Amino acid sequence: MNPSSNAHDAVATSTPEAKCPIDHTAATPSEVIAGTELPVVDMPRLKQVLSVWARPETYLKKCRDTYGSRFRVTIIPNVPLYVISAPEDVKQMFLAPRDVLHTGSSNTPIEKWTGHNGLAWLDEEEHTARRRSVMPSFRGEALKRIERGVLRLAKQEVAAWPRNRAVAMHPFAHRYATKVILEVLFGEHRPSNEDALFREVMKMLEFNSRPATMRPFHLLPAWKMRMTRLFRPNGVHEFLTRRDSVHAKVYAAIDEREKSGAVGDDLLGVMLGITDENGNPPSRVEMRDEIMTQFLAGTETTTSAMCWALEFLTRNQPVVDRLREEMAEGTSDEYLTAVVYEVLRLAPPIQQIVPREVVKPVELGGVRYQPGDRLWASAYLLNRDKDTYPDPDAFKPERFLGVKPASHTWIPFGGGHTRCLGDRIAILELKATITEILTTCDIERGDAEPQPAHGRTVVNIPRNGARTVLRPRR
């Protein structure tokens, strides 16, 4: 679930001809107002930042109830950041020309992981060219190969998960998702240091559970960075040390693969075979940054979705029973697909998708935004719009039977020019893990009460890490 894909990449369903039953078109407003006239959240900046991290659902709902579908938050100093959640606003944002809205400049919080030379940082023609170049590693024959790996790994990993005791499932799901990403990155040509690379990546990503994870400390002056690293409890020094180790191993893997001459449809193989308009191949740093982006975006998001699937399924036994009936019949996965869509609707891993920076004046839904403004579409609020989804807070997979999610009313993978490249892989992983868990185990909740969302880097997971009891199923 990486943050880049096509505006018209539709998620496949068993009934591709089905349409969203609601007409979301709206007449163009006759009066246009300036973005500066929108309401501003009346809350101290620090409290807003902490709310987004620790109580995002409560914060977003309160803002919507108080200010409506458009409002300005002040969590970034001197940056006009506008939250939008009306379907028509989001649709217009996704359809805006590439030279009007940019996403690269909004990825500063994750630069410490990804660098700034990968697809997530590119805009306009650079983004189009890079995207077109790496697309073969996420589609076609590559996707078929990855699917085989997903199914194999699901059996292996779920079989090793603890039984008969309540444990947080997040670490185990994260391990599985990271192994899938290794399949995406290296395919059949695994580097000799794969095991060491995997271990170091997993240790590096532990930093994501710390509050310091979203601080742009990489932009600090050298003396402040030294002071930050000296304060060991924040985890920054360990993270940067691990990251240096991962970078070294990634460079070694790139060199080894290039010397071998092995070709393939994996991401590294594809990048080693492409050139720009001048005949130049991507630099080592560009390849490293694309790989590092996958280690973050391709694992944290899917892991979040797996955890939320367990959170909802352990509270909805009739859904589990119906899934098992479909799995036993073995003729369709229509209901499983609907369950996955509903999980991603209620709990999009990234509740607020990557902001778009306005670089040319743009009008959305009767509001005119100016260069320097940033538009922050709320997947959480949009996916729970009561006019689109009746009883929006209820877990009802049936709402997606025979219905294909619309690209501007269901946005767990973002949308527009930067829609997630790994969307299909993520859905494969969710289906495979749900199937493997429910066919081999009975599932029980580890905590009686429903768990709220809690921040982990750019994603949200159940606060308890999806504590679950897996009972062997006879």
Binding residues for heme are 420
> How far is 15 from 52, CA to CA, in rounded Å?
37
3-class secondary-structure state, position 69: coil
Amino acid 30 reads: S
Q: Is 278 exposed, middle or buried (0-12, 13-18, 19+ CB in 10 A)?
A: exposed
> How far is 357 from 80, CA to CA, in rounded Å?
10
Look at residues 166, 160, 164, 154 and name the one whose alpha carbon lies nearest to residue 466: 166
**Residues forming the annotated binding site?**
420
3-class secondary-structure state, position 33: strand
> How far is 171 from 194, CA to CA, in rounded Å?
19
Query: Which parts of 347-444 fold into alpha helices (H)?
Result: 379-383, 423-440
**DSSP H or E run through 376:** strand 374-377
> How far is 186 from 407, CA to CA, in rounded Å?
31
Q: Are 137 and 266 in contact (CB under 8 A)?
A: yes
Look at residues 117, 41, 121 and name the one whose alpha carbon lies nearest to residue 81: 41
